C-alpha cells in the first residue's frame, strides 16, 4: 500500500523541519550545556530525534513496525518532560536571583 502523495508530502515536510530543528537543538545544547537550561535542551534534542524517527518510519513503512500512536504518545511525553524541565530550570534560576534568603 503506497502513501497518498499529499500525506507523503506532509510527512516529508515534517522530516525536513524536524531535522533542521534537531540539528539546531544539538547546537543549542553544545552552547548551553553548562547553563541552567542545558538539561532541558538535551531532552529537546532527544525528542527531536524521536520526532524524526517517527516521521521517517511513517514514510518508509506504510504499515509501521511500531504503532504510530504509541510513538506519538512517547513524543508528547518527551515534550511534557521538556516543558517540566524548563519550568524547573527557571524556578532554580529564580531561587538563585531572589536574594538567596533562607
Partner 1 sequence: MIGDLPLLDAYDIVLGMFTATGLLYLLYSQRNVVGYNRFIDFLIGGVLLFAVGGPIADIVAPAWIHVVHGTAALLVILGLYDPIHNNLRRAEWAELVLNDPAVMRNQAEWMAPMDEEILELFHSAHLVLTPTIIAFNLDHSRESVSRRLSALTENGLVERVDRGKYRMTGLGEQYLDLYPEPATTGRAQPT
Rounded to whole angstroms, how far apart are CA atoms 38 and 45? 11
Rounded to whole angstroms, how far apart are CA atoms 19 and 25? 10
Binder among 60, 61, 66, 92 for partner 1 (CB under 8 A): 92
* Residue 5 touching partner 1 (CB under 8 A): no
- Helix ranges (H only) for the chain are 5-32, 38-60, 68-96
Binder among 43, 53, 55, 66 for partner 1 (CB under 8 A): 55
Residue 82 and residue 44 in contact, taking contact as beta carbons nearer than 8 Å: yes
* Residue 53 touching partner 1 (CB under 8 A): no
Residue 54 and residue 72 in contact, taking contact as beta carbons nearer than 8 Å: yes
Where do contacts with partner 1 occur on this chain (CB under 8 A)? 6-7, 10-11, 13-14, 16-18, 20-21, 24-25, 27-28, 31-32, 34-36, 38, 44, 48, 51, 55, 58, 69-70, 72-73, 75-77, 79-80, 82-84, 86-87, 90, 92-97, 99-102
Amino acid at each position: 500500500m503506497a502513501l497518498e502523495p499529499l500525506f507523503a508530502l506532509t510527512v516529508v515536510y515534517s522530516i525536513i523541519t524536524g531535522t533542521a530543528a534537531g540539528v539546531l537543538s544539538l547546537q543549542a545544547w553544545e552552547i548551553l550545556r553548562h547553563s541552567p537550561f542545558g538539561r532541558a535542551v538535551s531532552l529537546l534534542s532527544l525528542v527531536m530525534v524521536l520526532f524524526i524517527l517517527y516521521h521517517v518510519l511513517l514514510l518508509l513503512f506504510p504499515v509501521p513496525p511500531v504503532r504510530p500512536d504509541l510513538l506519538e504518545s512517547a513524543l508528547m511525553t518527551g515534550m511534557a518532560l521538556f516543558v517540566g524541565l524548563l519550568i524547573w530550570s527557571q524556578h532554580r534560576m529564580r531561587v538563585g536571583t531572589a536574594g538567596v534568603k533562607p
